[in-house]
Amino acid sequence: MNSMRKKSIIILVIAVGIIFLSFSIGNKKESHSPTSASKVSNILAAQPENDDRERQIAEYREKYSLNDKSTKYDDFMIQAKSGIVVDAQTGKVLYAKDEHKKLAPASITKVMTAVVALENIDIDKKVDISRRASLMEPFKVGMSVGEKIETRDLLYAAMMISANDAAEALAEGIDGRSETCIDKMNEKAELLELEETHFKNACGLDAVEHTSSSYDMAKLTYYALKEHPDIIKYMGEKDPYSIQKTKDNEAHYWYGHVSQTVNNFPEVIGAKTGFTDNARNTFIGVAQRQGRKFIFVFMGSDRGMEDSKALLDFGLRKI
């Protein structure tokens, strides 16, 4: 009898234990299920965004790819580490030397800054000049904290004299944070599949992982000429330029374009120069003859003027 009672008690304890364990497991499943559901929901929500991104990249590839099935000239003509010439109408690569070599771009970075500004800031908007922008070195307009400068004037300054204060102001002109502009610069580089390109700032100052290539910069310029043809007027203005004094700003003035290639060769309708001790001379040029445009780029040159002239002459013969 005692034995039977003991067995009954043991069975009862086991049964209670099983019920308790089942209840605990059920509660755990219930408490975890919302998290799991959220994860699934997030994945599903992200999928359309990823699909849209892939569609965008495919559209960009269709419209803005360069045709690089062309003759390559090893070590031909230029001293620069890398260079390229591209037909601006067809995207055909006419000349290339180490065009995918990843290098520091210096101030030719500002072409991407200008593209992002044109796509995100109204041309008439007056941009507040921050302390950070006013302190940028070394090339600058000399704007003071609190001035309000129109976007178009900042574009002329960034393109013509490679003003770092103007480029920083453009970067801040979207929402007051230069980081937003830099994110958009890298998003645009991703859409254009600029594989050697990553931006860390809007000016082109040397920084770890701030890189590009002649190929990528030519492709970016090809895109810019197609989507924002007005960019050429900012890149190509040769005459002295002035920002008139208003209640919002002081007067500012500079003596024409910094590029001697623009100033000396009438076929060159736009250019962006760059230089740092690390990058050496970098350059983007756009030239035209009888309505036909071509883009020429070099990076890493100690003979900038000679290399730009060599690529210009080549393009004029081939276009």
Please give the model's pTM, rounded to 2 decimal places: 0.84
- Chain centre to alpha carbon of residue 101: 17
- pLDDT, position 300: 98
Domains contained in the chain, CATH given: 67-318 (3.40.710.10)
Average pLDDT over residues 230-256: 97
Q: Which two tokens stand for residue 312?
A: 């210009």
Given a cut of 80, whether residue 41 has pLDDT beyond it is no
Average pLDDT over residues 266-291: 97
Kindly tell me the number of DSSP H helices and DSSP E strands found in the chain: 10, 9
How would residue 262 be classed by pLDDT, with cut points 50, 70 and 90?
Answer: very high
Given a cut of 90, whether residue 78 has pLDDT beyond it is yes
- pLDDT, position 137: 86
- Chain centre to alpha carbon of residue 127: 20
Would you tell me how many other CB atoms lie within 10 Å of the CB of residue 180? 16
Given a cut of 90, whether residue 25 has pLDDT beyond it is no
pLDDT digits (tens, 9 = 90+) for 111-133: 999 999 999 999 999 999 999 99
- pLDDT, position 306: 96
Given a cut of 90, whether residue 157 has pLDDT beyond it is yes
In degrees and rounded to multiples of 5, residue 132 shows phi and psi of -60, -45
Give the three-state DSSP class for 45: helix
Q: Which positions are annotated as active-site residues?
A: 107, 110, 162
Given a cut of 90, whether residue 90 has pLDDT beyond it is yes
